[in-house]
Structure 1
Amino acid sequence: MKFLAVTLIVHRPDPVTGVLTSTHDRFREVVGNAVLAEELGFDGFGVGERHERPFLSSAPTVVLSHVAALTRRIRLFTAVTTLSLLDPVRAYEDYATLDHLSEGRLDLIIGKGNGTAQRELFHVTPEDQWDRNAESYEVFRRLWREEKVTAATRFRPPLTDAEVLPRPYQQPVRVWHGSATSKESVDLAARYGDPLFSANVTHPVEPYAELVRHYRERWEHHGHDPARIAIGAGTAGLHVAPTSQQALAAYRPVFEANLAFARRTGLPVVFETLEDFAERSSALIGSPEQVIDKVHRYHERLGHTVLHVHADAGGLGDRRHRHSLELFQSAVAPVLRRSIPDPPFAWAPALPASPTTRSEEGLAHA
Structure 2
Amino acid sequence: MRFLAVTLIVHRPDPVTGVLAPAHDRFREVLDNAVLAEELGFDGFGVGERHERPFLSSAPTVVLGHVAALTRRIRLFTAVTTLSLLDPVRAYEDYATLDHLCDGRLDLIIGKGNGSAQRELFHVTPEDQWDRNAEGYAVFRRLWRQDRVTADTRFRPPLRDAEVWPRPYQQPVRVWHGSATSKESVDLAARYGDPLFSANVTHPMEPYAELIRHYRQRWEHYGHDPADLTVGAGSAGLCVARTSQEAVEAYRPVFESNLAHQRSAGLPVVFETLEDFVARSSALIGSPEQVVDKVHRYHEQFGHTVLHVAADAGGLPAARHRDSLELFQSAVAPVLRRAVPDPPFPWAPVLPRQEPSRRG
Task: Give TM class, smaller chain.
Answer: over 0.9
**Correspondence list, 1:98-137, <5 A:** 98-137=98-137
1:75 is the counterpart of 2:75: yes
How far, CA to CA, are the matches of 2:147 and 2:260 in structure 1?
A: 53
Give the match's secondary structure for 2:150.
Answer: strand
Q: Which amino acid is the alignment partner of residue 145 of structure 1?
A: R
How far, CA to CA, are the matches of 1:79 and 1:334 in structure 2?
A: 24
How far, CA to CA, are the matches of 2:276 and 2:355 in structure 1?
A: 54
How far, CA to CA, are the matches of 1:268 and 1:312 in structure 2?
A: 23
How far, CA to CA, are the matches of 1:15 and 1:95 in structure 2?
A: 35
State the 1:16 CA deviation. Answer: 2.1
> Counterpart in 2 of 1:143?
143
TM score, norm. by length of structure 2: 0.98
> Counterpart in 1 of 2:253?
253
Name the Cα RMSD after superposition: 0.9
1:60 is the counterpart of 2:67: no
How far, CA to CA, are the matches of 2:107 and 2:157 in structure 1?
A: 27
Q: Which amino acid is the alignment partner of residue 9 of structure 2?
A: I
> Counterpart in 1 of 2:184?
184
> Counterpart in 1 of 2:7?
7
**Correspondence list, 1:355-366, <5 A:** none
> Counterpart in 2 of 1:266?
266
How far, CA to CA, are the matches of 1:256 and 1:355 in structure 2?
A: 58
**Correspondence list, 1:23-38, <5 A:** 23-38=23-38
> Counterpart in 1 of 2:315?
315
How far, CA to CA, are the matches of 1:17 and 1:255 in structure 2?
A: 15
Moved more, 7-16 or 83-92: 7-16
State the 1:256 CA deviation. Answer: 1.2
Deviation readout 1:278-300 (Å, 9 max, x if unpaired):
01000000000000000000000
> Counterpart in 2 of 1:193?
193
> Counterpart in 2 of 1:340?
340
Deviation readout 1:174-202 (Å, 9 max, x if unpaired):
00000100000000000000000000000
Q: Which amino acid is the alignment partner of residue 284 of structure 2?
A: L
How far, CA to CA, are the matches of 1:248 and 1:173 in structure 2?
A: 39
How far, CA to CA, are the matches of 2:338 and 2:354 in structure 1?
A: 33
> Counterpart in 2 of 1:329?
329
What stretches of structure 2 of length at least 5 have no aligned partner?
none
What stretches of structure 1 of length at least 5 have no aligned partner?
357-366
Give the match's secondary structure for 1:5.
Answer: strand
> Counterpart in 1 of 2:44?
44
How far, CA to CA, are the matches of 1:118 and 1:125 in structure 2?
A: 10
Aligned residues: 356
Percent identity among equivalent residues? Answer: 85
State the 1:355 CA deviation. Answer: 7.0
How far, CA to CA, are the matches of 1:264 and 1:121 in structure 2?
A: 23
How far, CA to CA, are the matches of 2:315 and 2:175 in structure 1?
A: 32
Give the match's secondary structure for 1:12.
Answer: coil
**Correspondence list, 1:174-323, <5 A:** 174-323=174-323
> Structure 1 residue runs of 4+, over 4 Å off?
none
TM score, norm. by length of structure 1: 0.96
How far, CA to CA, are the matches of 1:8 and 1:253 in structure 2?
A: 20
> Counterpart in 1 of 2:352?
352
